[in-house]
């Protein structure tokens, strides 16, 4: 989730130099309010089933490395 928030923040206001911390706080708060008013959702492309398969494969690979 943090990566998503940082990506949004980068697109909103990190494309320019922010002069001070107070301005940064105001920019972030304004962007957050704007996002919260919209009905935005995240397109999760990695399902729980996919995660279980990947985890299983990773655990198998790691156990083979230990032996």
Query: Distance (Å, rounded) from C-alpha 49 to C-alpha 44?
Result: 12
Quick: pLDDT tens for 27-57.
889 888 888 888 777 777 878 888 888 888 8
Q: Which long-range contacts (CB under 8 A, 24 or more apart) does 61-65 make?
A: none
- Ramachandran angles phi, psi of 20, nearest 5°: -155, 170
Query: Distance (Å, rounded) from C-alpha 24 to C-alpha 14?
Result: 9
Query: Distance (Å, rounded) from C-alpha 13 to C-alpha 16?
Result: 6
For residues 10 and 3, the answer to whether their CB atoms sit within 8 Å is no
Assign 6 a pLDDT band (cuts: 50, 70, 90).
confident
Question: In this structure, what DSSP letter does residue 19 have?
Answer: -
Between residues 20 and 12, the one the model is more confident about: 20
Between residues 62 and 32, the one the model is more confident about: 32
């Amino acid at each position: 989730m943090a990566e998503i928030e940082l990506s949004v923040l980068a697109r909103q206001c990190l494309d320019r130099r922010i002069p001070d911390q107070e301005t940064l706080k105001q920019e972030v708060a304004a962007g957050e309010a704007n996002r919260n008013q919209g009905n935005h959702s995240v397109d999760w492309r990695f399902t729980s089933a996919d995660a279980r398969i990947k985890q299983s494969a990773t655990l198998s690979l790691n156990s083979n490395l230990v032996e």
